[in-house]
């Protein structure tokens, strides 16, 4: 059974960097059949996919155009986890952030999700 | 950008069949997934690849897709099924629908 455990601060000041980590158990961040994703949810934007990291002989990342210039997703194979960094945050980035495992067959679906972290951007 | 449209709300009586639709351009040519989200909880995958149920999801949940519409059907709806439901597809990027609140009256 795959489990994803999120950690990180729930309050970030405007213009600073949002950082969250997702620890994986029951699978490997280096799996060649899965991708490791960050998805957020807010009343104004609904569910919004932010990006993914995945290993297919080499490491790759895909990011949503809406956050492409501000986002970094990094795997940590030594701890079997992956992290999200979102720079220059504004109150518009206030949301519940989820990590999720993505599986691909003519498109991705997300079969395991973390518990969610409410991140508030406020001074 | 690709868009998925869901009705904001659907109501159903206990024991009856609930149908939740998701519309998108040529959606039937893509795979649709469905997620259930109860208040304060993370989304849970209930249907993937249009019609497949993950292990542990009750048989009363089923999915179909054709043309521009995918449908999540819940047969013999129970009070525990009251939740928000989201469709999701992939068109060069992941897209979610706006969600449908299912009320079991």
Q: For all residues of chain A together, what is the average pLDDT? A: 97
Give me the phi and psi of B76, to 5 degrees please: 60, 50
Could you give the strand order of the β-sheet that contains A18-25, starting from the edge strand earlier in sequence?
A3-7, A18-25, A81-86, A71-76
Q: Closest Cα partner for A47 from A92, A115, A96?
A: A96
Task: Judge whether B94 is closer than 8 Å to chain A, CB to CB.
Answer: yes
Q: Say yes or no for a CB contact (<8 Å) between B42 and A115.
A: yes
Mean pLDDT of A64-76: 97
Query: Which positions in chain A touch B93 (Cβ < 8 Å)?
Result: 49, 62, 64-65
Give CA–CA dist B75/B62, Å, rounded.
8
Q: Which chain B residue's Cα is nearest to A96?
A: B42
Report pLDDT digits (tens) over B28-72: 999 999 999 999 999 999 999 999 999 999 999 999 999 999 999
Mean pLDDT of B10-16: 97
Report pLDDT digits (tens) over A98-111: 999 999 888 899 99
Query: Which positions in chain B touch A95 (Cβ < 8 Å)?
Result: none
Residue A55 contacts residue A31 (beta carbons within 8 Å) = yes
Report pLDDT digits (tens) over A49-58: 999 999 999 9
Mean pLDDT of A11-33: 97
Mean pLDDT of B88-103: 94
Cα A91-A92-A95 angle, rounded to 5 deg: 90
Mean pLDDT of B19-28: 97
Task: Judge whether B57 is closer than 8 Å to chain A, CB to CB.
Answer: no
Q: Which chain A residue's Cα is nearest to B42?
A: A115
Query: Which positions in chain B touch A107 (Cβ < 8 Å)?
Result: 30-31, 89-91
pLDDT of A107: 85
Q: For all residues of chain B together, what is the average pLDDT? A: 97
Q: Say yes or no for a CB contact (<8 Å) between A113 and B43.
A: yes
Task: Judge whether B43 is closer than 8 Å to chain A, CB to CB.
Answer: yes
Q: Helix count (H) and strand count (E) of chain A? A: 0, 11
pLDDT of B91: 83
């Amino acid at each position: 059974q795959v489990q994803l455990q999120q950690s990180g601060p729930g309050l970030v000041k405007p213009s600073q960097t949002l950082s969250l980590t997702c620890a994986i158990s029951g699978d490997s961040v280096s799996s060649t059949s899965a991708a490791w994703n960050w998805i957020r949810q807010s009343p104004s934007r609904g569910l919004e996919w932010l990006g993914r990291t995945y290993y297919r002989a080499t490491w790759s990342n895909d990011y949503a155009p809406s956050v492409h210039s501000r986002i970094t997703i990094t795997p940590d194979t030594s701890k079997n986890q992956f992290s999200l960094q979102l720079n220059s945050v504004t109150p518009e980035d206030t949301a519940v952030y989820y990590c999720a495992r993505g599986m691909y067959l003519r498109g991705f679906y997300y079969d395991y999700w973390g518990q969610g972290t409410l991140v508030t951007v406020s001074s | 950008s690709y868009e998925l449209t869901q009705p904001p709300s659907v109501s159903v009586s206990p024991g009856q069949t609930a149908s939740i639709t998701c519309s998108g351009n040529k959606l039937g040519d893509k795979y649709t997934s469905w997620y259930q989200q109860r208040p304060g909880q993370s989304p849970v995958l209930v249907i993937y690849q249009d019609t497949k149920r993950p292990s542990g999801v009750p048989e009363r949940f089923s999915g179909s897709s054709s043309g521009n519409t995918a449908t999540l059907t819940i047969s013999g709806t129970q009070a525990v099924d009251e939740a928000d439901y989201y469709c999701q597809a992939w068109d060069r990027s992941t897209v979610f629908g706006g969600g449908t609140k299912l009320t079991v009256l």
